[in-house]
Amino acid sequence: MYEEERSVILMADDDTEDCELTIEALRENNFTGDVRFVHDGLELLDYLKHRNGYSEESSSPRPATY
């Protein structure tokens, strides 16, 4: 059976409260996908290029493109 992929939002932000507010706003708007946070632009590039701690594609899925 085909399993639909969940949308992934990837966001760089080093403020925990901002991250929590983002998740809250997305839930209030019925977003059902995954939200991934990294701390800065360098970590964001590591995630996107599957480097360092993000080498496994299963644990660092590609963000959605709309």
Render pLDDT for 20-48 as a digit per residue (tens, 0 to 9).
Answer: 999 999 999 999 999 999 999 999 999 99
SS3 35: strand
Structural domains in the chain, CATH included, are 8-54 (3.40.50)
Residue 23 CA to its chain's centroid (Å): 11
Tell me the CA distances in angstroms from 57 to 16, 24, 60, one per residue in order: 25, 26, 5
**If you average pLDDT over residues 42-62, what whole number do you get?**
92
**If you average pLDDT over residues 7-20, what whole number do you get?**
95
Would the pTM count as exceeding 0.85? no
